[in-house]
Amino acid sequence: MEERQRGQSRRNPKSRRRQRGPAAGWLVLLLVAAAAAAVSVFFLRHLKVQEEERAKTRDSSEAVVAEYFPGDDRNEAAKDSAASEEELEGKTPMTVEEALQEMTLREKVLQLFMVTPEALTGVDEVYAAGAKTEESIREYPVGGIVYFKQNLRSPDQVKDMLTRTQKYFRDNTGIEAFLAVDEEGGQVSRISGREEFGIASFPDMSEIGASGEPQKAYEVGDKIGTYLADLGFNMDFAPVADVLTNPENTVVARRSFGTDGAVTAAFSNEVVKGLQAHGISAVLKHFPGHGGTTADSHDGYAATERTLEELMAEDFVPFLEGGRAGARFIMSGHIAAPAVTGDNTPASMSPKMITEILRGTLGYDGIIITDALNMGAVTSSYSSADAAVRALQAGNDMLLMPENFQEAYQGVLTAVENGTLSEERINQSVERILKVKFH
């Protein structure tokens, strides 16, 4: 009995081990399965978090795209532009006369204005052309837009912005805009000399003039014209045609080609040829000549004391010869010439200086555009509306950068409606503008 019990006692542990064996196995399997499930849950949650983060990034990106580049990618503007050009193929181009007949008074008046993208859109800083730009162009299809350094960040950005902007104009009115920049080379440059554009800076134009080689001026115009055309511009506020007749002048001392009218004309004409060979309309500036002043019209009143005979002998020569050479624009400066006009009226506001002398005596029949109307020489004496109307009465065709675009635009409309300006006068300027645009 005792022996059996001991035997049973020895067998019981084995029996218990055999009984515990299957249970332990199931427990291990359950633990492994639970761990696998936990890992799966963690992995799935991790994937979900990643997807949510990607979705947030995607949504954020789409929000930016919607603000600046609605409904397409950055290549779509170029595709749309090409498509628009294909649609125009085979169609008879609209003539200047046909365009004038179809335009409303409002559309004609808007053609007279060249403004910054900020003035057009009401946005503080513009460096893309999206929904707001398109909406603004639809509402105010102005004659042109001028861009400055803050608008120009990289070659791809500029190309995209200008391609889109031009497409909006074509789609809205069928008439392209002047897309302009101040790129003289040397002291005044918005693009060259900037690392992000990879374009070397140019010497000052005074240095080019001192070389005695007009070919160097052509090379400047040719190079500038090449990259401006590639970026999408079609107009450059260059060259400076001012003759440095006052040794104390610092405004254009580095920007002028020299102190002799004929020499300055030879050099500035070469820049015109270089630019316009690439489809970039050149602007001779600043009639009647900023080289005889001491003050800067950006800040306030500026005048030349030279007589008409002296101006004809030197200062006017580059504008006379430039017009003959085919310069599409001349800029009228806010420079008084009291010895000629008998008062302190800026040339840009003077019928005698613009209509009688520049149009009549010098025979220029291209587009005359004012210097910026937000300069101190204008704003110190005229409201935006008054300055715009007076500039047109003087004989200018385009109004550059009024201090208040809306006020200036309404002022011109009102002047036509009340008879201060005739619609025929407006038509004359629009015709000159369209001739260049349809060229």
3-class secondary structure, 298:
coil
CA 178 centroid distance within chain: 9
In one letter, which amino acid is 18?
A: R
Instruction: Reply yes or no on whether 315 is catalytic.
Output: no
Q: Which residues pair with 147 in a beta bridge?
A: 181
Catalytic residue among 222, 296, 298, 386: 298
Of 237, 241, 270, 265, the closest CA to residue 255 belongs to 241
Catalytic residue among 204, 236, 242, 371: 371
DSSP 334-357: S-B-HHHHSS--BGGG-HIIIIII
Q: Biggest alpha carbon distance in the chain? A: 150
Q: CA-CA distance, 183 to 255, in Å (whole number)? A: 11
Instruction: Reply yes or no on whether 371 is catalytic.
Output: yes
Q: Which two tokens stand for residue 330?
A: 């001349």
Whether the Cβ atoms of residue 113 and residue 409 lie closer than 8 Å to each other: yes
Q: CA-CA distance, 198 to 158, in Å (whole number)? A: 14
Burial 16-30 (b: 16+ CB within 10 A, else e): eeeeeeeeeeeeeee
Q: CA-CA distance, 302 to 364, in Å (whole number)? A: 24
Q: Looking at residue 398, what DSSP letter applies?
A: B
> What residue has token string 């022996």?
3
DSSP 209-256: HHTT-HHHHHHHHHHHHHHHHHHT--EE---B------TT--SSTTTS
3-state helix, strand, coil in the chain (%, to 5): 55, 10, 35
Q: CA-CA distance, 402 to 382, in Å (whole number)? A: 11
Q: Which residues are catalytic?
A: 298, 371
